[in-house]
């Protein structure tokens, strides 16, 4: 008996690895290591702008964007009509989530590299976006994996806006991924860019660094490195409970990694932990988490079915719809949204909802809360 | 004979430009900040150049970078790196008409230009109750005397400029950049005439224990003027030498 139990506990520990969400200045550092002739990729944040003190592997962290308008402390913008920005792949007026090149007090990703001066070969780079001689370091886009509910083709783009207002596009997936989807930085440079995403969801952006060595002009290229971006409330929740490639698999909306009968979507909807098995219903009147509580209550002398549950406030753009429904038969077509509800605010993100059936509980009534993940949100 | 003479002239012109520059560190590429520090109760204003920045044609190798008093580091833009002022009234703040040249230290890195930021990252955010205000109070130097305008602005993610400082409508209290303790920001720093610019700033902040603090500093920038005819002659000589050498190689 003991052995399987030990194994089970280990399994739970392994599942509980969650990514840290970085909501501050962060640099993606591609550094060449001459001693081992290898590259590494580390994210650095905290500390100061040029010397971030906390170091993390790319698969242990995620970079979130809030699904709130840019004018309301969020990262959601609207695609401008200008043809100069068509590269983002978003339709004019559609939402576009952007982690910006200038600090706005939230996730602020850039590139940096720290090398012994003179490590990289200085050469003339004829790419029209730079067209100069310098000790170039190239960061190539290898692939973008999207995980989310959006229909169509979610796109990723990376650009800077120059002093004259025109964008320089470094990477854009809307026209496919090719050899020009790359960013050129230089030895020991630290720079920031606009990171654009056209849909809510998790984006796993894979990049590869390369340069030429000053010592012998040889070409040195790193391995593929993947950085995770979590766009919107649900994606950020997934990234706080899973990390790396697990966000896509174990962290899928319909996965149930803790095998407790509730998919991640329900765990998200009802404020429970997707890595801790639990089938507890929320406490009547005071609960802040748990499965919906369904019971018969005597209200005004009549027995009525009530369903009580916690709900993410619509102001947080949770990307889910809660539909409390009642039925007398459990038949597929018999579920009806009905009854009267009372809502109690819990905090900035949560409220408690109690819905009372509009029909007497006798002879039998059933209640459920249907949770649907939206492909997009009408703001 | 003639070639030799021109070569000597070229060497002389290089020597002259070096001599005139010797009082200052000429900063021609790489990242550096107009920095705000705090030392023994006083604001410490300086220029901090990072590892790899090019000063007097040499990359800084010290991993701590290098620090200069304001005005002792002179960031330069070559004459040839001008941009044409874009059309549209959002760009009127430059103070020149559409299509006219402007010279800009850009907010995004250009490997051939100094990459200038404002930095207060040495300061702990908890020690300062309000952001620092960096207000332009004066503009002098040969560029300003020639009528050159000075502006500091950022373009947003879709390229729209937000102007913090511009001298086109004179110098007023509104000509200011704000920067939080611990913060760091890059701006476009623009000029409309070649020459030296000496921009004087009044910097204020509120220390949570020591109270209101302020200091003044003059930072210098240069849009390197178009080579004079003398220098052009020297350059022409250089080109002639190069062509001769290439010809002899091929033949």
The partner residue sitting opposite B108, judged by closest CB among A82, A85, A160, is A160
Separation in Å, CA A31 to CA A192, A208, A370, A378: 17, 11, 49, 42
The partner residue sitting opposite A163, judged by closest CB among B52, B60, B107, is B107
Task: Give dist(CA B203, CA B217) in Å, integer.
Answer: 8
pLDDT for the residue A48: 83
pLDDT for the residue A125: 97
Q: Which domains does chain A have, with CATH numbers?
A: 19-244 (no CATH), 264-373 (2.60.40.10)
* pLDDT mean over A229-241: 98
Chain A residues whose beta carbon lies within 8 Å of the beta carbon of residue B91 = 165
pLDDT for the residue B23: 63
> B104, B158, B166: which to substitute to probe chain A, counting the most A Cβ within 10 Å?
B158
Higher pLDDT, A50 or A187: A187
Q: Residue B80 pLDDT > 90, yes or no?
A: yes
Q: Residue A95 pLDDT > 50, yes or no?
A: yes
- A64 with A19: CB under 8 angstroms? no
Task: Give dist(CA B223, CA B78) in Å, integer.
Answer: 6
Q: Residue B22 pLDDT > 70, yes or no?
A: no
Place of tokens 């319909």: A254
CA B160 to mean position of chain CA atoms = 22
The partner residue sitting opposite A161, judged by closest CB among B91, B111, B159, is B159
Task: Indicate if the alpha-carbon torsion angle B125, B127, B129, B131 is positive or negative.
Answer: negative
Residues of A with CB under 8 A from a CB of B: 25, 48-50, 77, 80, 82, 84-85, 98, 100-103, 114, 116-118, 130, 132, 134, 136, 160-168, 185-194
Instruction: Write down the pTM of the prediction.
Output: 0.87
Indicate the range of A160-164, A246-250, B15-19, B180-184 predicted with least confidence: B15-19
> B159, B160, B177: which to substitute to probe chain A, counting the most A Cβ within 10 Å?
B159
- The C-alpha of B87 sits at a distance from chain A's nearest C-alpha, in angstroms, of 10
The partner residue sitting opposite B109, judged by closest CB among A102, A161, A191, is A191
pLDDT for the residue A198: 98
* pLDDT mean over A227-245: 97
Task: Give dist(CA A156, CA A96) in Å, integer.
Answer: 10
Chain A residues whose beta carbon lies within 8 Å of the beta carbon of residue B90 = 165
- The C-alpha of B121 sits at a distance from chain A's nearest C-alpha, in angstroms, of 6
Q: Is B164 on the interface with A (CB under 8 A)?
A: no
Task: Note whether A49 contacts B119, CB cutoff 8 Å.
Answer: yes
pLDDT for the residue B11: 40
Task: Note whether B109 contacts A114, CB cutoff 8 Å.
Answer: no
Residues 6 or more apart whose Cβ sits within 8 Å of residue B21: B56, B74
Q: Residue A366 pLDDT > 60, yes or no?
A: yes
- The C-alpha of A114 sits at a distance from chain B's nearest C-alpha, in angstroms, of 9
Q: In DSSP terms, which residues pair with B177 in a beta bridge?
A: B134
């Amino acid at each position: 008996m003991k052995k399987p139990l030990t194994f089970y506990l280990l399994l739970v520990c392994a599942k509980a690895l969650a990514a840290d969400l970085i909501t501050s200045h962060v640099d993606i550092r591609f550094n060449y290591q001459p001693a081992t002739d290898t590259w590494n990729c580390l994210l650095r944040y905290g500390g100061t702008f040029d010397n971030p003190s906390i170091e993390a592997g790319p698969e242990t962290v995620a970079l979130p964007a809030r699904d709130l308008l840019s004018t309301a402390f969020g990262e959601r913008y609207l695609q401008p009509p200008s043809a100069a920005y068509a590269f983002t792949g978003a339709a004019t007026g559609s939402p576009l989530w952007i982690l910006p090149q200038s600090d706005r007090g939230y996730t602020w990703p850039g590139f940096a590299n720290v090398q012994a001066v003179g490590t990289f070969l200085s050469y003339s780079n004829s790419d029209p976006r730079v067209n100069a001689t310098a000790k170039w370091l190239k960061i190539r886009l290898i692939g973008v994996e999207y995980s989310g509910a959006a229909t169509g083709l979610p796109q990723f783009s990376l650009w800077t806006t120059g002093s004259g207002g025109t964008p320089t596009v470094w990477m854009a997936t809307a026209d496919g991924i090719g050899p020009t989807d790359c960013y050129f930085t230089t030895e020991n440079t630290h720079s920031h860019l606009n990171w654009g995403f056209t849909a809510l969801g998790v984006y796993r952006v894979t990049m590869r660094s390369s340069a030429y060595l000053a010592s012998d002009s040889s070409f040195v290229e790193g391995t593929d490195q993947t950085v995770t971006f979590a766009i919107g409330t649900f994606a950020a929740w997934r990234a706080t409970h899973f990390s790396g490639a697990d966000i896509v698999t174990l962290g899928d909306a319909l996965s149930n990694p803790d095998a407790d009968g509730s998919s991640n979507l329900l765990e998200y909807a009802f404020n429970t932990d997707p890595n801790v098995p639990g089938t507890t219903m929320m406490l009547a009147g005071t609960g802040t988490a748990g499965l919906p509580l369904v019971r018969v209550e005597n209200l005004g002398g009549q027995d009525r079915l009530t369903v009580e549950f916690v709900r993410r406030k619509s102001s947080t753009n949770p990307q889910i719809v809660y539909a409390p429904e009642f039925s007398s038969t459990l038949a597929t077509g018999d579920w009806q949204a009905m009854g009267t509800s009372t809502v109690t605010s819990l905090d900035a993100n949560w409220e408690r909802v109690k819905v009372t059936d509009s029909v007497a509980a006798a002879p039998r009534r059933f209640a459920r809360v249907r949770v649907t993940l939206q492909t997009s949100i009408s703001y | 004979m003639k070639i030799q003479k021109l070569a000597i002239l070229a060497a002389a012109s290089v020597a002259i430009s070096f001599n005139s520059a010797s009082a200052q560190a000429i900063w021609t590429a790489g990242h550096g900040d107009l920095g705000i520090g705090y030392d023994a109760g006083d604001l410490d204003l300086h220029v901090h150049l990072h590892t790899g920045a090019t000063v007097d044609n040499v990359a800084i190798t010290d991993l701590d970078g290098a620090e200069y008093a304001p005005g002792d580091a002179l960031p330069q833009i070559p004459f040839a790196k001008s941009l044409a002022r874009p059309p549209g009234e959002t760009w009127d703040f430059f103070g020149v008409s559409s299509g006219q040249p402007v010279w800009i230290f850009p907010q995004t890195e250009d490997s051939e230009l100094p990459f200038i930021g404002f930095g207060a990252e040495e300061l702990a955010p908890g020690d300062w109750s309000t952001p620092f205000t960096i207000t332009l109070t004066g503009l002098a130097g040969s560029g300003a005397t020639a009528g050159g305008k000075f502006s500091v602005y950022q373009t947003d993610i879709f390229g729209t400029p937000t102007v913090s400082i511009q001298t086109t409508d004179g110098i007023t209290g509104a000509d200011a950049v704000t920067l939080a303790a611990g913060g760091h920001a890059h701006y476009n720093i623009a000029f409309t005439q070649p020459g030296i610019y000496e921009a004087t700033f009044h910097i204020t902040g509120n220390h949570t224990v020591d109270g209101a603090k302020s200091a003044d500093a003059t930072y210098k920038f240069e849009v390197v003027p178009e080579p004079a005819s003398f220098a052009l002659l020297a350059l022409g000589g250089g080109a002639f030498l190069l062509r001769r050498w290439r010809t002899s190689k091929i033949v």
